[in-house]
Amino acid sequence: MAGRKTILRALAGETLDTPPIWMMRQAGRYLPEYKATRAEAGDFLSLCYNSDLATEVTLQPIRRYGFDGAILFADILLVPQALGADLWFVTGEGPRLSTITDRAGVDRLKPAAEIHETLNPVYQTVRNLSGALPADTTLIGFAGAPWTVATYMIAGRGTPDQGPAHALKAENKEVFDILMERLTEATIEYLSAQISAGAECVKLFDSWAGSLKGEDFDTYAIAPARRIIAALKARHPGIPVIAFPREAGDKYIGFHEKTGADCVALDDSVSPEWGAGNVQVAGCVQGNLASSHMVTGGQALVDETRRIVDAFSGGPHVFNLGHGITPDADPENVQRMIDTVRGG
C-alpha cells in the first residue's frame, strides 16, 4: 500500500500526471479548528507535547482538504529543549531560549542519546497518526537542520540576519563547531525515532541556510545534511528524505547529489522554470508557490499555481508553498489552490 502513495512515488523519482500536494504549516493558525484546539491546550508547547491534541491538529487539514501528506505537528525548537535549553514562547513575538555563547553553555547540554525522554510525546503523536491517517496519505516527520536550530540557540530568539550565530562562528569556532556536532547527533536521533514510530519520510528544514555564504554553506548546510541523511538511510534503508535549504539560490544546484536527499524543496525566490532546469534534473523537487497567494487569492493564485505545475511537469514534483502558510491566509484560497493543482 505504501508504495502506491503519491508522495512516496514522487520521492522515488516517478513523474506523475498530477503532482501530490501538501503544504508547510498546513496545521496552523489560519484554520479556525486549529485555534479552538490550541485554546484547549492552553499554550503552544502544551499543544506540541499533548499527543492527543497534536494528533488532532495534524489531522485537521487532512479532513478539510484531503492533502496527500500529513506533517507531524511539532516545532523545530523541541530538540534544543530536549538537550536542556530553556524554551518558552512569547505571545505575538515567537520563541525564546536560554542562550549558548560559550563552552560552558555547550557542556551543560545533554548527550544526544538522552533527548528521547523529553520527546517521547512527539513519538506517540507519530504512532497515533500512523494508525489514524487515510490509507493513501503519507506521514511526514521533520526536524530543523543544525545551522537553523543553532541560530536560535545562540541568539535566544529569531533574528533578521542570524548575526549572533555568524559572530560566534567567527569568534569562537571551536564552541560553534561543538554545538553543531551536538545538534547533528541529536537530529539523527530525533528523526530516527520518528521513523521508528511510523513516519514514512522526513524533512530537514534549514530555514536560514541562505545566510550561509561560500564555504560556510558547504560546511554548515551541506555537510550536516549529508551526515544526517546517510545515518538515517543506514538505520532505515529506503527512507526518503526531503531537504529544504531555504534561499540557497545557486546553491540549490547539486544539493541532491551532495547530500543524498531524495527531494529538494525550493523557496519562491527562484522561478519554477529555473528550478526545473537546474534542480529537478537531479531528482524530485518540492514547491514553490509564494505563500502570499494564500492571502490574496484571485486569478493570480490560479495562474501561478498552473505555471508551477506546468514548469515541473517533466519530472518528479511534490506541489507545496515556497515557505509556510501564514496566519492571515484565507482557508478558501487553500482549497482553490488544491483544486487548481488537481485540474479544477
DSSP three-state, residue 71 = strand
Q: Which of 9, 25, 226, 246 is catalytic?
A: 25
Residues of the chain with pLDDT under 50: 1-2
Cross-sheet strand order for the sheet of 241-245:
69-71, 138-144, 201-206, 241-245, 263-265, 284-289, 317-321
The sign one gets for the Cα dihedral 302, 261, 252, 140 is: positive
Kind of pairing between the strands at 201-206 and 87-90: unpaired
Q: Which of 29, 96, 157, 342 is catalytic?
A: 29
Whole-number pLDDT of residue 4? 86
**Predicted confidence (pLDDT) per residue in 231-275, tens digit:** 999 999 999 999 999 999 999 999 999 999 999 999 999 999 999
Query: Shortest CA distance to 203 belongs to which of 248, 140, 256?
Result: 140
Whole-number pLDDT of residue 3? 54
From the number of C-beta atoms within 10 Å of its C-beta (0-12, 13-18, 19+), residue 256 rates as: buried
How distant is the alpha carbon of residue 128 from its chain centre? Answer: 20
108 tagged catalytic: no
Query: Shortest CA distance to 23 belongs to which of 343, 326, 344?
Result: 326
Q: Which of 49, 65, 123, 152 is catalytic?
A: 152
Q: Which of 9, 30, 34, 38 is catalytic?
A: 38
Q: Which of 75, 136, 177, 330 is catalytic?
A: 75
38 tagged catalytic: yes
Task: Report if pTM > 0.75.
Answer: yes
**Predicted confidence (pLDDT) per residue in 275-299, tens digit:** 999 999 999 999 999 999 999 999 9
Task: For residues 202 and 12, give the distance between their C-alpha atoms in angstroms, rounded to a whole number.
Answer: 13
Task: For residues 153 and 12, give the distance between their C-alpha atoms in angstroms, rounded to a whole number.
Answer: 35
Residue ranges of domains in the chain, CATH in brackets: 2-26+59-341 (3.20.20.210)
17 tagged catalytic: no
